Amino acid sequence: MCLKMTSSLIPTLQKITLKVNRVPFKDPEKRKAYQKKYQSKYYQRNREEVIARSVTNKKKLRKAKRAWLLEQLGGKCISCGYEGANLHCHHTDKSYKRPWGDVRGGTQGGSGIRFQRGITDYPWEDLKKKIHTLELLCGNCHMEHHAEERENE
Ligand SMILES: [Zn+2]
């Protein structure tokens, strides 16, 4: 009796399960898995294009961060007034400085090369939180500032 009932229920359950499987988008977990699989296939088919696009996006992101920083920090060297391409973000708070980062964006394919982290490699949240610890110095004033610092050590 009990067995009979169970076996008659199984086909119904299977039908329901199959129906759910056909619309994976309603279940967030399944949707995630589906998208992951889809994206991985997409990546394999369009690898070069995907890489090229991500490089462009990173460049755009760096540009946007640089423009934002320049605007926030007054756009010129606070020491000599220079306005040009050779402006650096000087860290007044060294604890915030993270000079060594990971291999840049994985493009060096695990070569183990580490790079000096530029300010535009910092995440937006970090920049916004720590903008008050940064000031603009031109390349020359920046170098002089740190040279003096070394002399005084
Ligand atoms: Zn300067």
Residue 61 CA to ligand 1 centre (angstroms): 26
Residue 77 CA to ligand 1 centre (angstroms): 5
Query: pLDDT per residue over 15-39, tens digit each?
Result: 555 555 556 678 888 889 998 999 8
Residue 68 CA to ligand 1 centre (angstroms): 20
Query: pLDDT per residue over 64-87, tens digit each?
Result: 999 999 999 999 999 999 999 999
pLDDT of residue 105: 45
Provide the percentage of residues in the chain whose pLDDT is more than 90: 33
pTM of this prediction exceeds 0.75? no
Tokens linked to 67: 């423009």
Q: Which residues neighbour 21 within 8 Å (Cβ) at sequence distance 6 or greater? A: none
Residue 97 CA to ligand 1 centre (angstroms): 21
Query: pLDDT per residue over 52-65, tens digit each?
Result: 888 888 889 999 99
pLDDT of 112 higher than 90? no
Query: pLDDT per residue over 116-125, tens digit each?
Result: 567 888 888 8
Amino acid making up residue 76: K
Residue 127 CA to ligand 1 centre (angstroms): 22
Question: According to the 3-state scheme, what is the secondary structure of 85-148?
Answer: CCEEEEECCHHHCCCECCCHHHCCCCCCCCCECCHHHCCHHHHHHHHHHEEEEEHHHHHHHHHH
Q: Where do the domains of the chain lie?
A: 75-152
- How far, in Å, CA of 88 to CA of 92, rounded? 12
Residue 105 CA to ligand 1 centre (angstroms): 32
Residue 86 CA to ligand 1 centre (angstroms): 9
- How far, in Å, CA of 69 to CA of 51, rounded? 27
